Every structure is written in structure tokens, then in C-alpha cells.
Amino acid sequence: MPAAYLRRHPLLRLLLALLPGMAVGAYFPLEHPALLFPLCLIGLGVLYLLCRRRGVGWHGAAALLAFFLLGMGLVSHALSRTAYPFADAETVCRVRLVDHPEEKERSYLCRSLLLDEWRGDSLHLSGDGHLFLLYFPKDSAVALPARGDELLVHTRLTLPVGNGLPEEFDYARFLRYRGVSGTAYVPRGRWKRVGHQDVPTFAQRMDDMRDSVLTHYRRLGFRDDELAVLAALTVGSKEELSDEIRETYSVAGASHVLALSGLHVGLLYGVLWLLFSPCWRLVARLRPYVLLLIVALLWFFAYFTGLSPSVVRAVAMCSCWALSCLLPGRPRTSEVLTAAAFLMLLFRPLWLFDVGFQLSFAAVAAILLLQPWLEGLWRPEGWLKRKVWSLLTLSVAAQVGTAPLVAYYFSRFSVHFLLTNLWVIPLVTLVMYLALVLFLLTPFPAVQQLVATVLQWLLSLQHDGLRLIEQLPGASVDRIWLPEWQLLFLYLLLVLLYRACRHCTPRRLALFLVALLLFLSLRLLLQSRPQAGVVFYSVQRCPVVHCLTEGRESWLVCADSLPDTSRLRRSLGAHWNRLGLLPPTELSGDTLLLPADSSGDTILPRLSLQQGILSYRGLRVCLLTDDRWRGLTADRPLPVDYLYVCRGFRGRLADLTALFRVRVVVLDASLGDYASRRYIEECRRLRLPYAEMKTRGMLMVGND
């Protein structure tokens, strides 16, 4: 970015100093962040006096350093507020539920505020109001607690711990960035209701209003996918979205319309401007008050939809733009965007690590930089052609700005995004306007039902079009692996390419080509390749053995006859993408895989699975999932490299020593705590080497 441009935008310079400081503060948080602020002020004062006496103009560098340290302090302070001194055993806690219970697959999730905790005879007060996620079992015989209830629970508060898998999603860090201190499971009979808070907070009132809107949609006949998408488009509620509809929108490249952002806020701002602008045209004195009313309504909408970062960004920009109408000169849109980012990060520093925040600002920044240049490449005649061309250039600019982030977070690139935006944006606009008309027609039920029918047809038409786009050949490029350094390098390449295209000179073009060559070379040199062998993973309720080749092909040998590998694929998807693996083929039951060019029985099989014994590349693994070997004897023990003990096996390892000559015992994560301890003690008694997957995470072995 040219230095002259930065000199014209001082707030942008401060923001560019604040962002690295926040990133450093996230990876290296300070133990006492509050001490940083007075030390920073003292240091700046001393630096200012030295510069003033010696006549050195280092004021700009001092300001940049100050905001770098400010970023470190803000993030460290925000993270320290979620830190909690956990006890080593179960305690009695008094909590208050701040949300309605949310149904999960095997439990109910309740967001709860910790009030105090009894550790033995001492009372530990939670002065900062730490937020915890409590999980209650599904039990029809016991009434669920409700929002506002105060409970006494006997449980152990913990911070979630990962399985130790490579490239595993850091759930504990994810919770801390969202202000959650930890989680706990509350078994049946371990909680008691002791009080209730009758006065709901402002945020809870907004939740009730969202629920009433969803109830109104259901009364009008909205169901399933139509209800889910309408709720996401109008009130920002995504709980109703099914996995199928999420996948359809993701593959087609339309996920951005499901997240409330500038498109939705811009439509609301346009409606409010159209409704209230006649007021100040008739009475000029009303203009400031009407503009303040518009801003207040926009912020009410932001609170109503849950204050997501993308909505706050859009509302902040619209507010600045509306209030700038009272000033003699309007600010530039880029200055408004910078001010919105600056104020949002000062208010909530951890928003910087929110995916919605990053995608929202990346899209708007790319639109501001690229769309005017792209739109100027062609000047079509006719209103319709100009609108279509403007929509296409806007889509290309937003896609360029967000594609690296989408590839980094979701490992996907939607190929037909232009076709998707041409289809979905006009329909979403109509849906938003009709949803507003729907509520205005509440006093007229018959007409309202007619509008609801038209709205259902539009939503169904939108889904059908996106499903057709999803089924087109090459709809998306999946399984993309993009580490952090490549993400930053890609944005550097985009900046260099933009400068070369705007004003092409030999120097700029050469700089871009050298950077591109360096990027491709590093990506090729640092690319990970799989090693042939077998891998054991620590994933709950999914015992498998992963057989790898030197190429992209692999097999999952499942210990269960009806395997559920969805959890495994979610946990290890990023790792497999890094290795460049194709989706593994699942194998269960007796299997014999021969080489592709096998022409006779003398060819050795690539993989053999017979009676729970896996043979692959000279390794032999016995999968113990039942008691099929109980009571059997053999004249000579079968050599087994790995004895894989999984859930379902209830025998003793000593009974198998007559059948197998075991080199290593592998204890799967599907085993219960009691079973794991029993088998560990037995391995020690039999002097058998063992590997416990609960503590190890992953075990990879080869025939070496």
C-alpha cells in the first residue's frame, strides 16, 4: 500500500498498528494486561520529551507503537476476563440460566452465569460473572430448567480439552473468544432449582421478540427449509437451518446471504430513508431528529438480531453515513469503514478473531477498492445491462476479497458464484421487502396470508435454483488446505496484482511475478505428503484403523459393523486436506483388496481383513470388538503387531496370549475410564507395551 495513501488516512495507519498488536496479544497474552496501559503512557511521555528536545520527528512512530501495545493490552485483558481458576474435583455451584435450553443430539445445552462456587468449606465468588455451558441429559421424567432459573449443581467445571489430533479444531480457544470460561456436564439428580429471576434483561427481551417472530411465521404456514431461511434472512436466527440446506448454500456460494450483513441492513436503511425523508423535506428543522430516529432504529435492529459482527459493521457504517448528512462535507466510504473497524475493535477486541467480522470487512474493503475499477472496464448501454454489470463486478470484487478466508476456514471455493449471485440477490431482495410487508399487513389476516403464500413460493424458487447450481459440474473445489502463512501471502499477492493492474509498470509486474514464484515454490517445498502405514486415532465412539498409501488413496477399516465416521471426518478433515488425501474409503466386514493390475491368485493383496484381523503392508492388526476369541486355543500363537482393544470387548488380555503373540496393545478412546484402567494394569502385569489413545491423540506406524 503506497505511503502517500497512508499519510492521507491517519486512522488507517493506527488501525494497521492495532491489528498486529491484537494478534500478538492473542498468541502471547500478558499476565497482567492492566499494567500495560500506565506503562505505555509513561513510555510515550518520555519518548515525546526526548524527541522534542532533540528535534526528532518520531511522533508518528511513537503513536504506532502505542496502538500496537494497546492492541496487545486489549486482547490480553479480554482473554483474562474469561480465565477461571478451575478446581481439581467436583464442586457445588450456584448458576443462573441466561438463555433457553437448546436441544442437542444427546443432551440439552444451557448457557449459565456462575454466581458462586463452594469448594469444600470455602465459598468462591465469581465476581466477573463467568459464563459456562452446562449440558443436561435428556430425561423426559424431569422438567428442564428454564431461563432465569437459579440452580445448585454438583459437577466439575472444566475447560474443554481436545483429543490431541493434528490440525484439530481448538474448541477451548473458540469458547474463550466468545466469552465462555468453560463447560460442565450435570448428571441426572445432581441439580436443584433454588430461585428464579423474574425481570429479563434487554438481551433476553430481544430473544423473546425473535421467538415471537418465529412463532408468527409458523402460524402463517412456514415450515422446514422455508422457515429456516426466512428466519436467517430477517431475524438472524440460524438454529433452524438443516445440514442439507447449509451444504447447498455453501456449495453454490450463497452462504453470505444467510448471514445478516450489509445487504440486509442496506435494504432496511433504504426503506427507512424512503419512509422518513418526506418529513424533513416538509419541515427542514426535523432533519436532525429524523436522522437520529433512523440511526436508533438501525441499532435496535442490530440488538434484535443478536449483535453479530457483520450486522454491527453494517449498522455502524450506515449510522456514520446518515449522520454525515448533517455535516457540510461527507466522509469517504473507506474512512467510514476504517472508523467502524476501529471502534468495533476498541469495544470488543475479540471480534477480530470472529469469522463473520473478517469476511464482512474483507468483502467491503475489496468492493471499495476493486468494483469502481472493474465497473469502469465496460460502460454498457441500457438500464438492465448496467444493473447486471454492476452486480457482476460487485460479486467478483467481494469474491476476490473473501476467497482466501473462505478457503482457509471452510476448505472450499465455489466456482459458480457469479451465477449464484445473479439468481439469489434479486430473490433475497424481494423476500426481504415482502417480509416487511408481511408484518405491516398484520391487521389484515386474509391479505397477509396471501403475501405469505407468495413469500413461500419465492423461498422455494430460491432453494430450487441453488440446488440446480449445486448439481452443476465442478460446482465447488473442496478439500483445500491453506495454512496461515499462505493466507497472508495470498492477500499480499492480491495487493501486488491490484497495483500492477491499476497502473502496469515493469517494476510492479516483476514484483508480482517474483512474489508469485516465491509463493508457489514455498507451497511446493513445504507440502506435506502421506507416509504409507496404519494410523490409530483418538475419536470418541469411532474405532477405526486408517490405512495410508504414498499417494492420495486410503482406507478406513472400521471396527463396528455399522460405523458412524461423521465425527471422525469432521475432526480430521483439515489433517487429511493437508496431506492431500481423497475421502477415505470405508471398509467393514471381511474384505480383500487386490492391486489394480492383478491377473492371478499369486498376486499379494494390498489389504486383507478376515475375522477382524487386518493385514496391510506387512503389518498385522487384530481388532478386538467382541468376544469371538473366548475359549479358543491354538497350537502356535499368531504373531500380531498391534492388538486394537475397542468398545465391545469384555474379556481379559491374558486369555489371548495363547492365541496371539502381541507386540503392542492399543487401547481405543471408545473404552470407558474403568475399562481403560483395567487393561492398563493388565498390560503392566503381562509386561506388554501399550498405547492409550485418550492421552496420545494419534499413533502412526509403518513397516520399518
Please tell me whether residue 117 adopts helix, strand or coil conformation: strand
Contact 661, 637 (CB under 8 A): yes
Closest CA to 245 of 266, 260, 228: 228
Question: Which pLDDT score, from 0 to 100, does residue 53 have?
Answer: 56
The amino acid occupying position 615 is S
Band of residue 144 on the pLDDT scale cut at 50, 70, 90: confident
Residue 485: phi and psi, rounded to 5, are: -65, -35
**Dist CA 306 CA 406 (whole Å):** 23
Question: Which pLDDT score, from 0 to 100, does residue 32 have?
Answer: 72
Sign of the CA dihedral with 460 first, then 461, 465, and 468 last: positive
Question: Which pLDDT score, from 0 to 100, does residue 275 have?
Answer: 84
Closest CA to 558 of 544, 540, 573: 544
Please tell me whether residue 1 adopts helix, strand or coil conformation: coil
Q: Which three cell numbers stand for residue 283?
A: 419541515
Query: Residue 183: is its pLDDT beyond 90?
Result: yes
91-199: CATH architecture: Beta Barrel (2.40)
For 75-126, the pLDDT digits (tens) are: 988 898 888 888 888 889 999 999 888 888 788 999 999 988 888 777 776 6
**Dist CA 367 CA 387 (whole Å):** 16
Question: Which pLDDT score, from 0 to 100, does residue 617 have?
Answer: 87
Angle between helices 243-252 and 445-470 (to 10 degrees): 60
Question: Which pLDDT score, from 0 to 100, does residue 125 have?
Answer: 67
Query: Residue 338: is its pLDDT beyond 70?
Result: yes
Closest CA to 448 of 600, 222, 193: 222
For 354-401, the pLDDT digits (tens) are: 998 999 899 999 998 898 888 888 888 888 888 889 889 988 999 999
Closest CA to 681 of 658, 644, 654, 699: 654
Band of residue 322 on the pLDDT scale cut at 50, 70, 90: confident
Question: Which pLDDT score, from 0 to 100, does residue 142 have?
Answer: 67
Cα angle 470, 472, 478 (rounded to 5 degrees) comes to: 65
Closest CA to 665 of 702, 612, 630, 622: 622
Question: Which pLDDT score, from 0 to 100, does residue 604 have?
Answer: 53
Band of residue 324 on the pLDDT scale cut at 50, 70, 90: confident
What is the DSSP annotation of 538-601?
Answer: --TT--EEEEE-SSS-EEEEESSSS---HHHHHHHHHHHHHHTPPPPEEE-SSEEE--TT--ST
Question: Which pLDDT score, from 0 to 100, does residue 332 have?
Answer: 77
Domain boundaries, the chain: 3-82, 91-199, 206-478, 484-525, 533-595+603-701
- Pairing mode, strands 607-610 and 180-185: unpaired
Task: Report the predicted TM-score, pTM, of the whole model to 2 decimal places.
Answer: 0.88
Report the pLDDT averaged over residues 592-615.
71
**Dist CA 162 CA 170 (whole Å):** 7
Average pLDDT value over all residues in the chain: 85
Q: Which three cell numbers stand for residue 5?
A: 495513501
CA dihedral 645, 651, 653, 654 (to 10 degrees): -170
What is the DSSP annotation of 486-510?
Answer: HHHHHHHHHHHHHHHHHS--HHHHH
Strand partners, 137: 107
Q: Looking at 229-243, 484-498, 508-522, which range is the least confident one?
A: 229-243
Band of residue 602 on the pLDDT scale cut at 50, 70, 90: very low
Cα angle 163, 686, 659 (rounded to 5 degrees) comes to: 95
For 46-83, the pLDDT digits (tens) are: 666 666 655 545 667 777 888 888 888 889 888 988 88
Per the document, the length of the chain is 704
Q: Count the Cβ atoms, other than its own, within 10 Å of residue 596.
A: 6
Question: Which pLDDT score, from 0 to 100, does residue 56 have?
Answer: 47
What is the DSSP annotation of 201-264?
Answer: -HHHHHHHHHHHHHHHHHHTT--HHHHHHHHHHHT---TT--HHHHHHHHHHT-HHHHS--HHH
Which secondary structure element, helix H or strand E, spans residue 115, and what is its range?
strand 107-119
Q: How far apart are the first and last CA of the chain?
A: 52
Q: Distance of CA 432 to CAs 337, 459, 479, 575, Å?
A: 24, 11, 34, 40
Strand partners, 196: 149
Please tell me whether residue 318 adopts helix, strand or coil conformation: helix
What is the DSSP annotation of 146-177?
Answer: -TTEEEEEEE--B-------TT---HHHHHHH
Query: Residue 621: is its pLDDT beyond 50?
Result: yes
Cα angle 538, 544, 545 (rounded to 5 degrees) comes to: 100
Q: Looking at 260-264, 352-356, 556-560, which range is the least confident one?
A: 260-264
Please tell me whether residue 536 adopts helix, strand or coil conformation: strand
Closest CA to 96 of 206, 201, 174: 201
Band of residue 515 on the pLDDT scale cut at 50, 70, 90: very high
Query: Residue 236: is its pLDDT beyond 90?
Result: no
Torsional class of 649: left (φ above 0), alpha (ψ -120 to 50), beta (otherwise): beta
State percent of the chain over pLDDT 70: 91
